[in-house]
Structure 1
Amino acid sequence: METRATPGAERGSSRERMIRAAYELFEQRGFERTTVDDIAARAGVGRTTFFRAFATKEDVIFPDHDSLVASVRERLAAATPSAALVAVTEAARLVLAHYLAEGDLARARYRLTSNVPALRAREISGQRQYQRTFLTFIRTWMGDEPGTPLRAELMADAVVTAHNHVLRQWLRGRTTTPEADFDAAMAAVVELFAPRSPAATSGTEGAGGTQVVLLRTQRDLDDVLPELKRVLEQG
């Protein structure tokens, strides 16, 4: 069957056209049955053009991952100790805002990663990269008190879990207020960790609704937060 460029393929950058074409084909034919040549033909570009933009067809599924991680690092690097919680929240919000802006594309990615094991593994690897980025920042912010490595790791995981809980609810059509849900989830994370942090007690008192942020684990927020609270109370 002949593959033709979709209407409007002339508009937009070749990269954008390839991303849209790939998602269309993955939904129509399935991920495994779609080739790089199929994507290039549908987008109206050559094979060489495809490989200038993407190393593999898997890369088309996560085209902005590296730039998003870089944005998170930049926001965290610009933070002062007294504004650490604000920085974490805003850094995580950058990622959530990107997914929300993608709209149907984000939902299509969710369907693909839910059904294609190789893509799910790739997504999990990317989530771990976010977790490590937040963990590095949080450990520095918490200082050298006893128990900091564990608390920092718990907090980074909680931030990721909270973000993902909100994102999944939106992707599944269970909420129309993801921004407000995000605020509430991050406030819950901050409530668990801020009182034990020197930076929180000396520099963020009275900050009100400051929050924390994002990434991914396999577990739901309702499962993780009670466990974190028990660990903190025991400390």
Structure 2
Amino acid sequence: MSKAPERLPARLRLAEAAFALFDERGYEQTTVEDIAERAGVGRTTFFRNYRSKEAVIFPDHDRLLRLIRDRLATSSHSTALVAVSDAVRLVLLHYLDEGDLARRRYALTSKVGALRDREIASVARYQRLFREFIAEWMGDPTASASLRAELMAASVVAAHNHVLRRWLRGESDDPVAEIDEAMREVLALFPTPGGTGGTPGGGTTVIAFRSGQDLDALLPSLRRAVEGTSP
């Protein structure tokens, strides 16, 4: 049984009131006073919970970033990439826990340019955090390593956003399984620090992937890839 509206925490009542008013009147036409009145609280209570009207819409990114930092901080050099995957899953789970609120936010930010800009700025904070962690994990100050760290971080964030948007649009029945698979694909794209894409001493690197083709049909292409020849 859900709680009666008056018994919900003020922060949640404010969020519910805000999105209801955004739907009814539009984002630009809704004021902080309107939101507080609809929630049955005063302006002081509003600003104790949110810094601004915009802050009602977005998740607490500062808290999510702290959760990511805490998870990354528990990793060792050998478990760094596992920590990256876990951190991405933490963020996705936050949105899944929000449920309908996350979907209402998605619909709103899709229509209001200023909110999209703020969302893009928030995404950049996540990417910067992952880039800094990956660069430190690589332990290589060269320009090429810096580029790899940037590319890895961008891929990590893109994988999360791809899965999240599929769920927001109702296209994913199991977003947690999807994010785990997406992260395996992303991390497989990049060599470990010091790696060159091959194995020192002439070994063989095998990359596993799924295909709708039969193995016999794939073998010629795989041989050409290993030998570095053209089709």
**TM-score, length basis structure 2:** 0.80
Task: Determine if the alignment matches structure 1 residue 18 to structure 2 residue 11.
Answer: no
**Percent identical across equivalent pairs?**
58
Aligned to 2:104: 108
Aligned to 2:181: 184
The 2-side partners of 1:18 and 1:66 are apart by: 19
Aligned to 1:57: 53
Question: Which of the residues 126, 138, 141 maps onto 1:142?
Answer: 138
Deviations 1:146-198 (A, max 9, x none): 411000000000000011111111111111111111111111111111x3434
For 1:10, what is the secondary structure of its paired residue? helix
**Mean Cα deviation higher: 173-182 or 141-150:** 141-150
How far is the alpha carbon of 1:9 from its aligned partner? 2.7
Higher relative contact order (CA 8 A, sep 6+): 1
1:1-235 matches, cutoff 5 A: 8-144=4-140, 146=142, 147-193=144-190, 195-198=191-194
Deviations 1:116-169 (A, max 9, x none): 011101101100000011011000001116411000000000000011111111
For 2:151, what is the secondary structure of its paired residue? helix
**Mean Cα deviation higher: 181-190 or 155-164:** 181-190
The 2-side partners of 1:197 and 1:173 are apart by: 38
Please tell me whether the aligned partners of residues 131 and 156 of structure 1 are also in contact (alpha carbons under 8 angstroms): yes
For 1:96, what is the secondary structure of its paired residue? helix
The 2-side partners of 1:59 and 1:138 are apart by: 30
Please tell me whether the aligned partners of residues 26 and 34 of structure 1 are also in contact (alpha carbons under 8 angstroms): yes
Please tell me whether the aligned partners of residues 9 and 44 of structure 1 are also in contact (alpha carbons under 8 angstroms): no
The 2-side partners of 1:48 and 1:12 are apart by: 18
Runs (4+) off by over 6 Å = none
**Mean Cα deviation higher: 115-124 or 22-31:** 22-31
**Pairwise CA RMSD of aligned residues?**
1.9
AA of the residue aligned to 1:24: A
The 2-side partners of 1:71 and 1:145 are apart by: 27
The answer for unaligned runs of 5 or more in structure 1 is 1-6, 202-208, 210-232
Aligned to 1:220: none
AA of the residue aligned to 1:132: R
AA of the residue aligned to 1:15: R
AA of the residue aligned to 2:29: R
For 2:5, what is the secondary structure of its paired residue? coil
Deviations 1:24-79 (A, max 9, x none): 11122111111111110111100111112212100101142111111111111121
**Mean Cα deviation higher: 42-51 or 140-149:** 140-149
AA of the residue aligned to 1:165: H
AA of the residue aligned to 2:45: T
The 2-side partners of 1:37 and 1:51 are apart by: 11
Give the number of the structure whose alpha-carbon radius of gyration is greater: 2
